[in-house]
Amino acid sequence: MKQIIYGVEGTPESIQVAEGDRPQPGPGEILIEVHCAGINRPDVLQRSGRYPPPPGASPILGLEVSGMVAALGEGVTEWKVSDCVTALVPGGGYAEYCVAPAAHALPVPEGLDMAQAAALPETWFTVWANLVDLGRLKAGERLLVHGGSSGIGLTAIQLARHLGVECFVTVGSEEKARFCRDFGADHAINYRQDDFVQKVKEITVGEGVDVVLDMVGGSYLQKNVNLLRRDGRLVLIAFLEGSKTEFDFMPVMLKRLTITGSTMRPRTVAEKTAIRDALLKNIWPEIAACRLRPHLHAVFPLAEAGKAHHLMESSAHIGKIVLQVKP
């Protein structure tokens, strides 16, 4: 099969198409003929040597795919060959065939094409696990999302709207701010023009927010804590500005704050299955009814994976970037 490999230098230019062995599904797994694969920040980190795959995972890049079930591993009964699925995978997505735990696959929602379906798993698994399970986000609360125009950010905006939550986002341009407001955010703040702390306090008359979803870290950590209301929750999912900073914990005590966070890839099969089941029950019907939708910024052929990574690293995109594996 064709698959993507990259050189030891870990640059987008080192990415190329190569031939490799087709994987075989083990017990509880399915083999997917990949039509499309989503691109995510962890792919960029792995390529650059900063996010090695967990033990037993494929070294090939790619954490989410859509396609058709090509073979069943021992004990798999919930899928059949030729079913159209989208799946969260521990690795291996940038290839013509990919193995996935059967319990981490979901049906392609009615009305979506394969490119749109490939854009769903990584962001929805991540956003649900961090905002609902860890962040305990509920109707009537206020949510602040950094990186509002990213795939994660747009998914968080949709979840907020679905739950009845007032949603604030930060973005780096007026174009992105307008897009996020049109996509459902109640407030979009251009951090290059405005101090987001001051702006949120102004809009909320000094009250702040209940939950912050942060992928920046660094200097944002103290600002996030200062913006949280009593019993607020700070949820960390990445550190684009670094994970180390000087920090005053006094507001954590005074306001009874919770600071938490997680990564998705190292979670157990059972943990990811529980998230899959929650999405299937609560989110997939909303997608099928067109009330929730992914937004694709660009679709690249597999041979242009390097260009796709350049775009991801530029942060010029809005929403998801996808590879077209099967023409």
Q: What is the DSSP string of 103-114?
A: GGEEEPPTT--H
Concatenated DSSP letters of 48-77: TTSSPPPTTS-SSS-SEEEEEEEEE-TT--
Q: Which long-range contacts (CB under 8 A, 24 or more apart) does 147-150 make?
A: 147/171, 147/215, 147/216, 147/240, 148/176, 148/180, 148/185, 148/188, 149/176, 149/179, 149/180, 149/317, 149/318, 149/319, 150/215, 150/319
| 236-280 tens-digit pLDDT | 999 999 999 999 999 999 999 999 999 999 999 999 999 999 999
Task: Name the one residue in this structure whose structure tokens are 């290839």.
Answer: 95
- Provide the whole-model pTM: 0.96
- What is the number of domains present in the chain? 2
Asked if residue 289 and residue 276 are part of one domain, the reply reads yes
Average pLDDT of the residues in 207-225: 97
Measure the CA–CA gap between 129 and 76, rounded to whole angstroms.
25
The reply to whether 135 and 156 lie within a common domain is yes
Same domain, residue pair 257 and 128: yes
Q: What is the pLDDT of residues 92-103, one digit of tens each?
A: 999 999 999 999
Average pLDDT on 20-28 reads 98
pLDDT category of residue 10 using cuts at 50, 70 and 90: very high
Are residues 73 and 25 part of one domain?
Answer: yes
Which among 211, 232, 261 is the end of a domain? 261
Average pLDDT, the chain: 97
Name the 3-class secondary structure at 250.
Answer: helix
Look up the domain containing 58 and give its range.
2-119+267-324
Q: What is the pLDDT of residue 166?
A: 98
Helix (H, G, I), strand (E, B) or coil at 175: helix
| pLDDT greater than 90 at residue 155 | yes
Strand (E) or helix (H) holding 17: strand 16-19
Residue 24's Cβ-count burial label (10 Å; 0-12, 13-18, 19+) is: exposed
Helix (H, G, I), strand (E, B) or coil at 230: strand
Structure tokens at 15: 């990415």
- Average pLDDT of the residues in 16-22: 98
Residue 99: give its domain's CATH number. 3.90.180.10
Contact 220, 196 (CB under 8 A): no
Cα–Cα distance between 103 and 27 in angstroms, integer? 12
Q: Could you tell me if 95 and 187 lie in one domain?
A: no
Assign residue 248 the CATH number of its domain: 3.40.50.720
Q: Does residue 233 sit in the same domain as residue 255?
A: yes
**What pLDDT is attached to residue 163?**
98
Same domain, 251 and 150: yes
Residue 184 tokens, joined: 């459902």
Residues 135 and 257 in one domain: yes
Which residue is listed with tokens 């990564």? 263
Q: How many CB atoms lie within 10 A of CB 327?
A: 6
* Residue 172, Cβ density class (10 Å: 0-12 exposed, 13-18 middle, ≥19 buried): middle
Look at 279 and 55; give whichever has higher pLDDT. 279
DSSP 87-105: EE-SS--SBSEEEEEGGGE
> Do 130 and 233 fall within a single domain?
yes
**pLDDT at residue 196 above 90?**
yes
Closest CA to 318 of 209, 186, 182, 196: 182
The alpha carbon of 126 is separated from its chain's Cα centroid by a whole number of angstroms, namely 5
> Distances from the Cα of 194 to the Cαs of 96, 110, 121, 188, 289, in angstroms?
45, 41, 33, 11, 37
Q: For residues 132 and 247, state if they share a domain.
A: yes
Residue 100: closest CA among 86, 114, 113 = 86
Residue 256 shares a structural domain with residue 149: yes
The yes-or-no verdict on residue 205 having pLDDT over 90 is yes
Residues 272, 257, single domain; the answer is no
Helical (H) or strand (E) element with 229: strand 228-236
Q: What's the pLDDT at 327?
A: 87
Of 230, 261, 292, the position where a domain reaches its end is 261
DSSP letters spanning 253-286: HHTT-EEEE--STTS-HHHHHHHHHHHHHHTHHH
